[in-house]
Amino acid sequence: MIRVFIGFDPREAVAYHVCANSIIRHASQPVAFTALALKNLADYTETHSDGSNQFIYSRFLVPHLMSYQGWAMFMDGDMLVRDDIVKLWSLRDESKAVMVVKHDYKTKANNKYLGSKNQDYPRKNWSSVVLWNCGHPDNRVMTPEFIENATGAQLHRFTWLADEQIGELPKVWNWLPDELGENPDAKLLHWTLGTPSFHEYADAPMAGEWHRERILMDYCLQRDID
């Protein structure tokens, strides 16, 4: 069973469901989904006042939610998976505490969806797709209390880990079409500036695939009635 935590923000609930549908359609093994929604996290209080979505810090709760056992995957909701998630799952490395796509880029935009500020910072978007080795001893520090009191820089830059504990995933597993352009070989698309559900991002690069997936997510076969 592949455990997948997807960031959920009620302001764009459709993004979660489209992302999950894309995973289900391509997966060759059972997948267990958890919506990472703030209202479901009784033992965590969001103390941070920055951030563009409601799961920007709760994503770091995954080891805690897994009782510091096994592996789990986190991904932002503004994503679409184009290939079998089993292929990503198979890249787990037991010697690493986390595995991420190590982006190194400068953003094209000062603002993103719903008017949020979009700033450059080291290791930007590393935390948007994470294979968590929840049982790794270095991840035991990831308690609700630690996360509530840590800064964004500490968390999103994985500063509780030594660099050698951060494994690297191929960039096709967290491709940013709105920042990096179209890529027909991408296995996971991430519209980091804004999901195509927002009007101003409806025509973002490769957004047509997201709109198609939304139709498939909303599909229901109907019988013919004479």
Q: What is the pLDDT of residues 69-80, one digit of tens each?
A: 999 999 999 999
- Can you give the pLDDT at residue 47? 85
CB under 8 A, 24+ apart: contacts of 11-14: 11/53, 11/54, 11/114, 12/77, 12/78, 12/113, 12/195, 12/197, 12/198, 14/195, 14/197, 14/214
Report which residue type is found at 223.
R
Q: Residue range 181-200: average pLDDT? A: 96
pLDDT at 120 over 90: no
Tell me the CATH class for 2-217. Answer: alpha beta
pLDDT band at 119 (very low <50, low <70, confident <90, very high): confident
Q: What is the mean pLDDT of the chain?
A: 93
The confidence score (pLDDT) of residue 114 equals 60
Residues 128-155 have a mean pLDDT of 96
Residue 174 has pLDDT above 80, yes or no: yes
Work out the average pLDDT over 209-219.
97
Mean pLDDT of 143-147: 96
The residue among 9, 13, 62, 61 whose CA lies nearest residue 37 is 9
Q: Is the pLDDT reported for residue 116 higher than 80?
A: no
pLDDT of residue 207: 98
DSSP 8-state code for residue 71: E
